[in-house]
Amino acid sequence: MKKYLLILIVILACSPGLSAHVINFELEQMSKDTVFWKYMLIGFQHIIPLGFDHILFITCVFFLNSNLKQVILQTSMFTLAHSITLGLAMYGLIKPPANIVEPLIALSIVFLAVENMLTDKVKTRRMIMVFLFGMVHGMGFAGALSQLGMPQYAFATALISFNVGVEIGQLVIIMSLYLFVARIFSNKAWYRVRVIFPVSILIALIASWWTIERIFFV
């Protein structure tokens, strides 16, 4: 599996794509405190309400097994992975092309949605998948952040606060699903058949269309 991970990084690093350290001179006028709060808000908004694909990914992570420990285990792997590639991309160490990254993000959602219908166990394979897909999502975050631009004098602050905002957005999704769905219905005998299966099928269909759209029509 390490071999596949290395191949993925090499391919994306060698591909033409995003440029790091985009300068927007309006951003250079902000204080570091303003930078922190601004980019944290941007990170949050990139999940809620703008990141519908990331919302569906986190939803798939949640619905494999609604036990909060299992969800946190998966999201920790996802967080670690997307933090790595977001940082590498923004510092210019890898240059992931959007025409590859965006279809892969959609495809990652399809994979998790389908697996949710096949098993309810968090196995090693699932953790590896979430980690690898998290790396791809991190490259997607980098694309959005690169287009916005970042202040050079507070580059690390902006990068960290953006990531904090993303994590807060993910936490809101997870806790909302837990409080309003899993906590109420997960102990019901019909929960998997009437909730997880239909939701997973719907997500898989949406993400399959996104995959096709992003490959052929964007």
Q: What DSSP letter does each residue of 153-208 carry, written as one string?
A: GGHHHHHHHHHHHHHHHHHHHHHHHIIIIIHHHTTSTTHIIIIIHHHHHHHHHHHH
Distance CA 76, CA 58 (A): 12
Q: Where are the alpha helices (DSSP H) in the chain?
A: 2-14, 32-47, 52-64, 68-90, 98-118, 124-148, 155-177, 183-185, 191, 197-216
Range of lowest pLDDT (32-41, 103-112, 131-140): 32-41
Model confidence pLDDT, tens digit, residues 153-210: 888 898 999 999 999 999 999 999 999 999 999 999 999 999 999 999 999 999 999 9
Whole-number pLDDT of residue 69 = 86
**Dihedral sign of CA atoms 30, 34, 36, 40 in order:** negative
Residue 38's SS3 state is: helix
Could you tell me which of 125, 118, 109 has the C-alpha nearest to residue 206?
A: 109
Banded model confidence at residue 28, pLDDT cuts 50, 70, 90: low
Q: Give me the chain's average pLDDT, please.
A: 85
Give the tokens for residue 188.
């019901």
**Whether 55 contacts 48, CB under 8 Å:** yes
Q: What average pLDDT does the segment 137-144 reach?
A: 90
In this prediction the pTM is 0.84
Verify cis geometry, omega within 30 degrees of 0, for the bond prior to 49: yes
User: What is the structure's pLDDT at 204?
Assistant: 97
Q: Return the pLDDT at 32.
A: 78
Judge contact between 61 and 75, C-beta under 8 A.
yes
